[in-house]
């Protein structure tokens, strides 16, 4: 995402925010590797992919902000289409991260021909990212993400409610929902030129908190003796 | 009795081998695992592929033993299940 208006102060906050989230995501991904190697459990695979894709998304976001902060002539980057490429990668990877997060919770419920095949979602995410670039309406991808998240949550949750033997929904479910909402809100804020900086800071702080809560929980649970 | 999940079945099979002084013949393992012959073979092939167990030939015939990975799975099993439950996976 290329914010419409920048100031130096905001860029530094963005950099720190992205760095914390990138570190959290990749640490979660690395820390759960052994768990997946031992079990090949689908839920763990989707959970890891969530943070891999979030990590990629925030990494690209971080690079973009570095470009802005470095004061290098942006004409060069524009000429090689860096911003379009970055937006395409971010759109695709963030959509996949959100889909994988829903999958990690509802994969047992979403067990029919269409929903159990992640390839369809991969294709849809690629097409949506492509369309957003072509029509040059970056906001479209976030509306699409909000729609797909809502759809999958409703389907997953209604199937879960119908199940005879319900397992307990994780207490972390609220943190997951928070991650969805904050992702959408933080991106929509990029398109609003005049909003209180305090709102932006609160959104960033809550996002960092959500990722760090999950990271600490992963470390605590997998702290092998 | 609720159907055992895949992770639990794997744990049970590996645990039977460990409790048998880490060496058991295929037939008693099949019997003790409480699985149909077909399901047992599916699981057994997977355990071999994942490197959790190994077949060795002894003077008494074929024996199944745990590898280091197999022991590691047993050691980590409680952590694995608690992780999956806590994260709602």
Q: What is the pLDDT of residues A199-211, one digit of tens each?
A: 888 888 999 999 9
Q: Given an 8 Å threshold on Cβ–Cβ distance, is B89 in contact with A105?
A: yes
- 3-state DSSP helix/strand/coil percent for chain B, to nearest 5? 60, 15, 25
**A163/B72: higher pLDDT:** B72
Residues of A in contact with B84 (CB under 8 A): 41, 43-44
Rounded to whole angstroms, the Cα distance separating A1 from A88 reads 10
Per-residue pLDDT averaged across A113-120, rounded? 71
Q: Given an 8 Å threshold on Cβ–Cβ distance, is A41 in contact with B7?
A: yes
Rounded to whole angstroms, the Cα distance separating B3 from B22 reads 26
Residue holding tokens 């030129």? A193
Q: How far is CA A45 from the centre of its chain?
A: 16
Rounded to whole angstroms, the Cα distance separating A18 from A94 reads 14
Interface of A with B in 22-41 (CB under 8 A): 34-35, 38-41
What percentage of chain A carries pLDDT values higher than 70? 82
Global ipTM:
0.84
pLDDT of residue A107: 80
Residues of A in contact with B76 (CB under 8 A): 34-35, 38, 224
Q: Is B1 exposed, middle or buried (0-12, 13-18, 19+ CB in 10 A)?
A: exposed
**A3/B29: higher pLDDT:** B29
What percentage of chain A carries pLDDT values higher than 90? 27
* pLDDT of residue A216 exceeding 50: yes
Secondary structure letter of residue A195 according to DSSP: -
* Angle of the A173-189 helix axis to the A197-221 helix axis, nearest 10: 150
> Where residue A104 falls among pLDDT bands split at 50, 70, 90?
confident
Q: What is the pLDDT of residues B37-82, one digit of tens each?
A: 999 999 999 999 999 999 998 887 899 999 999 999 999 999 999 9
Q: Given an 8 Å threshold on Cβ–Cβ distance, is B86 in contact with A173?
A: no
Mean of all residue pLDDT scores within chain A: 81
């Amino acid at each position: 995402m290329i914010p419409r208006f920048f100031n130096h102060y905001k860029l530094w906050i963005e950099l720190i925010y992205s760095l914390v989230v990138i570190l959290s995501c990749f640490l979660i991904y690395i820390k759960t590797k052994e768990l997946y190697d031992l079990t090949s459990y689908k839920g763990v695979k989707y959970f890891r992919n969530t943070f891999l894709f979030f990590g990629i998304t925030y990494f690209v976001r971080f690079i973009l902000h570095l470009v802005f902060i470095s004061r290098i002539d942006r004409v060069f980057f524009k000429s090689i289409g860096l911003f379009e490429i970055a937006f395409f990668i971010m759109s695709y990877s963030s959509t996949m991260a959100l889909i994988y997060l829903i999958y990690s919770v509802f994969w047992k419920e979403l067990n029919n021909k269409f929903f159990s095949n992640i390839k369809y979602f991969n294709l849809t995410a690629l097409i949506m990212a492509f369309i957003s670039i072509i029509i040059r309406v970056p906001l479209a991808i976030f509306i699409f993400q909000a729609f797909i998240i809502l759809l999958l949550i409703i389907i997953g949750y209604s199937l879960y409610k119908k199940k005879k033997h319900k397992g307990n929904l994780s207490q972390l479910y609220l943190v997951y929902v928070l991650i969805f909402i904050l992702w959408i809100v933080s991106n929509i804020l990029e398109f609003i030129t005049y909003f209180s900086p305090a709102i932006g800071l609160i959104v960033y702080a809550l996002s960092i908190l959500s990722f760090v809560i999950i990271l600490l929980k992963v470390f605590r649970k997998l702290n092998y003796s | 009795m609720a159907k055992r999940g895949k992770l639990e079945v794997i744990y049970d099979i590996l645990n039977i081998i460990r409790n048998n002084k880490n060496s058991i013949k295929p037939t008693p393992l099949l019997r003790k695992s409480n699985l149909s012959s077909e399901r047992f073979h599916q699981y057994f092939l997977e355990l071999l592929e994942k490197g959790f167990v190994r077949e060795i030939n002894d003077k008494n015939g074929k024996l199944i033993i745990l590898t280091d990975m197999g022991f590691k799975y047993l050691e980590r099993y409680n952590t694995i299940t608690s992780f999956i439950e806590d994260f709602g996976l």
